[in-house]
Every structure is written in C-alpha cells, then in structure tokens.
Amino acid sequence: MYTQLEQRGMAEPPVNISTLMKMKAAGEPIACITAYDASFASLVDRAGADLVLVGDSLGMVIQGHDTTVPVTVDDVIYHTRVVARGLRRAFLVADMPFMSYSSEKQALENAVRMMQEGGAMMVKLEGGAGQVRIVEHLARHDIPVCAHIGLKPQSVHKIGGFKVQGRDAKKARQMLDDAVALEEAGADIILLECVPNELGKAVRASVSVPVIGIGAGPDVDGQILVLYDVIGITPGRLPRFVKNYMEEAESPFDACRLFVQAIKSREYPAPEHCFS
C-alpha cells in the first residue's frame, strides 16, 4: 500500500522507522495518537500525526470495558485493518493485547497476524525485564517492536489501579535498567507511560531509540494521547496528562491539528500535564 503511494509521488513520503530515528536525531518531536477506524485514521493522518497506534485502549473507548484486559487479538487485527485503510503517511503500530505474548511462539504467531492480516508496521507490547526474551525473539524475526514501560494498563489488577510509576528510587532504577535491556533485546521504540518528568528524561538519556511519552514529561522524543481524550468525548475524571483540544477547536480535525502542532512546538505537555 505505502510503496504504491510512494510511487505515486506523494509530497510527503510515508513515515518509517528511519524517519522516526531521523526526527529523534534532529530533535523534532514525534506526534503520535491512537485511532480505531478508517475515518478517524484519515483525519489524524491529515492532521499531521507521524505515528498512529491501534491501542488496546479500544477495549475502554470503543467496547466500553473498564480495563484493556478483555481485548483479543482478533479485536486488534480488525481495528488495525480498518485503520490501515485510512492512512497515507503515518506509521502504523498495533497493540499486542493481554496474554497474547506469554511465550515466544505465541508472541511470534500473533505479531505475524498483526502485520499480515492487520497491516501493522510494528507491534507494541507491555513489559520490562520479563519481556526481554520475547522482544529478542520477535526482533530476531525482523518484527519491529515498541516496548511499553512505566504504567502498564494490562497489569492494572496486579498493581491495583492506574497510578504514577517509578516515584521511588529503586523502581526508577529498575525502569531505567528495563529500558536499556529492552533496547539491547531489539526494541525499536520505548513507550513510557505515567512517570515523573525526571524519569522520562533519564530514560531518554539511557537509550538510543525514540522514547514516546504519555504522561512522561516534556524531555522525551515524542508524545501520544488517546484520540477520544484529545477530541473531548471521554467522560468522567481524566488523567492529569490529558488535554482536551476541542475546548479551543472548531472541529475534531482542528483539535487533532492543534494537538500535533502543540507537540511539535513543545507547548504540550505543559507543567499541569506532568508529574514531578
């Protein structure tokens, strides 16, 4: 799909891993957002998102569950396939759901499905040192991997709620070691959720791959939010790092465009979106 677009002489070529590495090297923040269907995928792509994630947050924002735990591999593949149809430029990442990567064999089979049936260009999985073997196995088979550390929503029942992670020195040290081990195992991106600014900065300094933050402060290589939070349709109390761009926009497209611009200009995240 993307090769054909490239051949058709698009003004801006599709984003790939090299583009993301170049953006990191140039200090250009990477603008990321989630999407779950073709219409919104097209909208966020036109708004300038560099990376689109089909997150297992779909369990909460699409399916109405309280957590991401019930999401299945088939759910993610379905949403990835429809999102792929809406994208022209953005890099497409699909989430590996809860317990879909508990062994090397299972992880490889499911990652291959995400890529072949869904059209994903990279898979994301949650984990620290415990997932190093899995990441190594996927990387050995040339599957691009984003390793999600910090707050891991799939572990919500184990950690007892959605909480800021790495506040004490021992846990912060462990997270740094995990980031390094995951990069060494072959992870191409580290996604860091809900940690103090200082830890976001330290993780970025410890690895050479792009670090994308969600509630990880300003000193990382890119930012991501859940689309429905950016366009203000998530009800109830929202995490501190969320900003509803519909408050200053005239349309959902405008809100996504403002979000991308705010990431690029480093206006987002502001101090009120951060943990210290």
Binding of ligand KIV at residue 34 (CB under 6 A)? yes
Mask 182-201, x = binds ligand KIV (CB under 6 A)? ---------x----------
Q: What is the smallest separation between the CB atom of 195 and ligand KIV, expressed in angstroms?
A: 13
Number of residues that bind ligand KIV (CB under 6 A): 11
Q: What is the smallest separation between the CB atom of 214 and ligand KIV, expressed in angstroms?
A: 5
Contact 114, 90 (CB under 8 A): no
Q: Show contacts with ligand KIV in window 46-85 (CB under 6 A).
A: 53, 55-57
Binding of ligand KIV at residue 95 (CB under 6 A)? yes
- DSSP-derived secondary structure for 234-260: --S---TT---GGGG-SSHHHHHHHHH
Q: Return the number of the residue (9 or 241) whose C-beta is nearest ligand KIV.
A: 241
- Whose structure tokens read 């603008």? 31
Among 30, 224, 255, 262, contact with ligand KIV (rule: CB under 6 A): 224
Phi/psi of residue 231, each to 5°?
Answer: -100, 15
User: Coil, helix or strand for 148?
Assistant: strand
Which one of 193, 247, 248, 272 is the catalytic residue?
193
- Residue 50, sorted as left (phi over 0), alpha (psi -120 to 50) or beta, turns out to be alpha
CA 182 – CA 180 distance, rounded (Å): 5
Among 23, 83, 202, 226, contact with ligand KIV (rule: CB under 6 A): 226
Query: Is position 193 annotated as part of the catalytic site?
Result: yes
CA 88 – CA 229 distance, rounded (Å): 23
Pairing status of strand 122-126 against strand 91-95 = parallel
CA 42 – CA 209 distance, rounded (Å): 27
Binding of ligand KIV at residue 214 (CB under 6 A)? yes
Q: What is the smallest separation between the CB atom of 169 and ligand KIV, expressed in angstroms?
A: 25
Q: Return the number of the residue (151 or 172) whose C-beta is nearest ligand KIV.
A: 151
Beta bridge partner(s), residue 53: 34, 93
- Binding residues (CB under 6 A) for ligand KIV: these are 34, 53, 55-57, 95, 148, 191, 214, 224, 226
